[in-house]
């Protein structure tokens, strides 16, 4: 892939329990396109991924949440897994960090259970998006329009359903981040 994201900085927000491939695959696609990626977390040192129901690898945290600012990044990626967003969504620092990306009209991408965090950050209402199917009612109750599609783009918000959608999710993320003008309504 051509290095079309040179000088772009992307935060990947996770804590223990993320679906590992939902971090590693977008991270690799972004880096292959020239972006610099940073694992941001409420944890300070390392986070552990999961491969479905089995513990996965550990990853170094590049920036703890209390030292992370949306102004330092060009985009945000929210991997899923069940445990990860369920923990993140309850953290007020995480909620503020996510909201700041929307307030600054920067691209945000969420896959699988990642959109759970959007609900608690207060940014799901009025959006058209997708997710893992079990979040459909949660998202509808939060005021979002849920659809069952591989990738959904809503004014700078990119969402996908499962790891099976990663190829399209990654391609869309890179394409939208490479576009000159981005918009994510607050």
Hey, which residues are catalytic here? 112-113
Structure tokens at 136: 């459909």
Residue 91: closest CA among 23, 174, 13, 175? 13
Strand order of the β-sheet with 46-51 is 18-19, 46-51, 54-60
**Residue reference for tokens 């000159």:** 180
CA distance 113 to 105: 22
Cα 151 to Cα 125: distance, rounded to the nearest angstrom = 18
């Amino acid at each position: 892939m051509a290095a079309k994201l040179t000088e772009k900085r992307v935060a990947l927000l996770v804590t223990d329990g993320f679906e590992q491939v939902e971090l590693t695959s977008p991270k690799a696609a972004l880096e292959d396109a020239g972006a610099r990626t940073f694992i941001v977390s409420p944890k300070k040192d390392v986070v552990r991924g999961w491969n479905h129901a089995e513990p996965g690898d550990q990853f170094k945290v590049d920036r703890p949440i209390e030292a992370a600012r949306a102004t330092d990044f060009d985009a945000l990626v929210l991997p899923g897994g069940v445990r990860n967003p369920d923990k993140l969504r309850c953290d007020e620092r995480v909620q503020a960090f996510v909201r700041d990306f929307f307030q600054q009209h920067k691209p945000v991408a969420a896959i699988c259970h990642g959109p759970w965090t959007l609900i608690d950050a207060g940014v799901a209402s009025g959006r058209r998006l997708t997710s893992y199917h079990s979040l459909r009612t949660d998202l509808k109750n939060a005021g979002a329009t849920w659809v069952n599609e591989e990738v959904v783009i809503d004014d700078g918000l990119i969402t996908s359903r499962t790891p099976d959608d990663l190829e399209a999710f990654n391609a869309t993320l890179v394409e939208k981040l490479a576009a000159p003008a981005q918009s994510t309504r607050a």
